[in-house]
Amino acid sequence: MESVDDVGGGSPANGDDVSAGWVAAGTIEQLASQSRLEAEVDGEFVAVARLDGQLHAFEDRCTHDGEPLAGAELEGDSATPCGVVICPRHGARFCLKTGAALTPPAYEPIRIFEVREIEGRIEVRRS
């Protein structure tokens, strides 16, 4: 999802619950140094990454084997209207905008979360 500008306040990006159903995932500085952030949202592990200037938050689990997408590559995909996350084990590709499974061995989508940046903090919306 695209970043959402918001003038509202919130608590520091330390993993605590913030305003109106948003969960802090970290800071822009942390994302720049680590290339990916992780948060727990609604009992699911969520990865946050930036591709081509856009923030994306997605379920950190391949639907093919149930394992984390840790180490997965992100890339633009000219064949689809979205960037993709690629499972590091078997190469399943998922759309970062819709979560759709684009290639086998995965057939079920991953969950996509709304994400925003506010004053250097990155937050993911609860569903």
From the number of C-beta atoms within 10 Å of its C-beta (0-12, 13-18, 19+), residue 9 rates as exposed
- Looking at residue 33, its pLDDT comes to 92
Distance CA 127, CA 119 (A): 23
Q: What is the DSSP annotation of 69-125?
A: -TT-EEE--TTSSS-EEE-TTT--EEETTT--B-STT--SPPPEE-EEEETTEEEEE
- Looking at residue 14, its pLDDT comes to 44
What end-to-end distance do the CA atoms of the chain give, in Å? 14
Going by the DSSP 8-state scheme, the letter that residue 28 receives in this structure is: H
CATH domain 19-125 topology = Rieske Iron-sulfur Protein (2.102.10)
For residue 77, which amino acid is it? D
pLDDT one-digit tens code per residue, 39-85: 999 899 999 999 989 999 999 999 999 999 988 999 987 777 789 99
State the pTM of this model.
0.82
Question: What are the Cα distances from residue 73, in Å, to 5, 17, 70, 87, 93?
Answer: 27, 28, 9, 7, 10
